[in-house]
Amino acid sequence: MNLARMAASRMEAGRPVRAGLIGAGKFGSMFLAQVPTIAGLEVTAIADLAPDHARAACRTVGWDDARTEKIAFTEDGTALAARDDVEVVIEATGQPRAGISHAQAAIAAGKHVVMVNVEADVLAGPALAQRAASAEVVYSMAYGDQPALVAELVDWARASGFSVAAAGKGTKYLPEYHHVTPDNVWEHYGLSLDEARRAGMNPQMFNSFLDGTKSAIEMAAIANATGLAVPRAGLSFPPCGVDDLPHVLRPRSAGGQLEHSGMVEVVSSLERDGRPVYRDLRWGVYVLLEAPNDYAAACFRQYGLPTDSTGRYAAMYKPFHLIGLELSISVLSAALRREPTGCAHSFRGNVAAVAKRDLAAGEMLDGEGGYTVWGKLVPADAGASADVLPIGLAHGIPLVRNVSEGEILTFSDVKIPDDEVIGIYREATLTA
């Protein structure tokens, strides 16, 4: 609760926290919008494959020419990570291979890393965190994004003496969404193709949110950061509003829907027939608490928490998240407290590439949110034994055999180079 004061002290001392941003997309732009109003925080460099796009992003979020002209713009994220005027590197490209490379460069240069790129984190987060610790720098999840907010709730619950029965987020989900492609994604958002194009919206990125892939990635990140378990059959996306969280997400042994206590799960804002869920949690996050004793259970009721019929399970939730508008919390925490806002510790969850349709040998996989595969959350132990192909690596590589719709792909199904990224992924899986 002291970050603003600590940052202001750095400004008064003439040593503001200096950040470098890699990737000036929506998340990065939201962060840039807040920087001018945060005393003690500066952005000194921005890397983007299209520097003119990055400059335009600065103008779009309201930066004046004087502030923009102070920024070093570059196409090279690795070069940004090596700059003397960058203390914290923010990786916001969304590309897993690029994210891993940039994080390694930043750690090697002695810089803290805020990994907005959840796709990279679920491939290599535990290994990157270990390397950062060895280099005495911070590797952190991005506050404002749902995984970090869930990790915060879980930590709060445990530090308060509660057992965590479940934790996760809400989203819009129906089973048929797993087969949606970029060609028909906009109808599910209530947009026309022209409207989406005029808004500059990327259909493959938005399809990842819809087809279940992004939810799987985010739950894997949460499991890896908190030690919570992953459902063996994958996410079930039960329809559930905030008032019903304690009933639905308690373990089956207590009358709920989860395999056991201590799991990640995503709740849907739609009933299976498409009707909206009452008081849904589409934009929010939650943690389900289990009372350690009768006295605590009584306090749940006395202070208005939603509880199940036994009173032993109660939900704490945050209905919204502001993604990039909150990212400065991670940047300042890393620089001033030397503490991450969530960090991968072990490889608990993997995100397997699953065929959206029958695929033929020779076809090129197009990765997250595309036409060929969607991402399914699986336990890391099962993933290691089955040698599943992670969704983050299922891009730009050809199939070497036919794969049926609904089948989980393995490394033996594709032709993929055994490169540095594969190496650090294998290293991360050893932390399970």
Give domain limits for the chain.
Answer: 3-145+324-337, 147-173+212-320, 349-429
Comparing 3-145+324-337 with 349-429, is the CATH topology the same?
no
> Is CATH 3.90.420.10 correct for 349-429?
no
The predicted structure's pLDDT at residue 180: 95
The predicted structure's pLDDT at residue 199: 74
Are the C-beta atoms of residues 125 and 390 closer than 8 Å to each other? no
* pTM tops 0.85: yes
The predicted structure's pLDDT at residue 185: 94
The predicted structure's pLDDT at residue 309: 95
* Strand stretches in 153-300, DSSP E: 163-171, 263-268, 285-290
β-strand partners of 317: 286
Report CA-CA distances (Å) from 57 to 78, 184, 202: 21, 28, 16
The predicted structure's pLDDT at residue 5: 97
Its sign, for the CA torsion 92, 97, 98, 100, is positive
Exposed, middle or buried by CB within 10 Å (0-12, 13-18, 19+), for 175? exposed
Q: What residues contact 96, with CB distance under 8 A and at least 6 apart? A: 117, 119, 120, 123, 392, 393, 421
3-state secondary structure of 48: coil
The predicted structure's pLDDT at residue 198: 80
Please list the pLDDT of the chain residue by residue as tens digits (432 residues). 899 999 999 999 999 999 999 999 999 999 999 999 999 999 999 999 999 999 999 999 999 999 999 999 999 999 999 999 999 999 999 999 999 999 999 999 999 999 999 999 999 999 999 999 999 999 999 999 999 999 999 999 999 999 999 999 999 999 999 999 999 999 999 999 898 888 778 899 999 999 999 999 999 999 999 999 999 999 999 999 999 999 999 999 999 999 999 999 999 999 999 999 999 999 999 999 999 999 999 999 999 999 999 999 999 999 999 999 999 999 999 999 999 999 999 999 999 999 999 999 999 999 999 999 999 999 998 655 568 999 999 999 999 999 999 999 999 999 998 889 999 999 999 886
Which architecture does CATH list for 3-145+324-337?
A: 3-Layer(aba) Sandwich (3.40)
